[in-house]
Amino acid sequence: MKRIYSDTCVWCRPFDEPSPRVDVERKAFLGILRKVYENEFSVVGSIFLEIEVDKIKGEAQRRAIKDSMLRVVSEKVGLISE
């Protein structure tokens, strides 16, 4: 199974203002999530991702992203070294 890490801007993409580029990137992200549910990918998270998501100003967006992460992040990077 392939392990992937998506940064905060990827998790936020479904909430961005529509544009041709955003639409393509949104569909790509949803395709990745589909692969997660089909057990082809596993998602790696990190404390840094959680910190960045906690800083999102919109409560509904922040909650939706956190809920999505809870559903699909199967492991978290726990140790960071120099």
Is residue 56 in some structural domain? yes
Is residue 82 in some structural domain? no
pTM value?
0.84
Is residue 12 in some structural domain? yes
Model pLDDT for residues 18-71, shown as the tens digit of each residue: 999 999 999 999 999 999 999 999 999 998 899 999 999 999 999 999 999 999
Question: Which domain covers residue 50, as residue numbers?
Answer: 2-77
Is residue 42 in some structural domain? yes
The interaxial angle of helices 59-72 and 20-37, nearest 10 deg, is: 30
Bridge partners of 4? 43
**Total count of domains within the chain:** 1
- Evaluate if residue 80 carries a pLDDT over 90: no
Q: Residue 79: what pLDDT?
A: 67
What 3-state DSSP class applies to 74? Answer: strand
Instruction: Read off the pLDDT of each residue in 8-14 and give the average, rounded to a whole number.
Output: 94
- Evaluate if residue 3 carries a pLDDT over 80: yes
d(CA 11, CA 22): 12
Q: Can you give the three-state secondary structure of 24-60, one letter per residue?
A: HHHHHHHHHHHHHHCCCEEEEEEHHHHHHHHCCCCHH
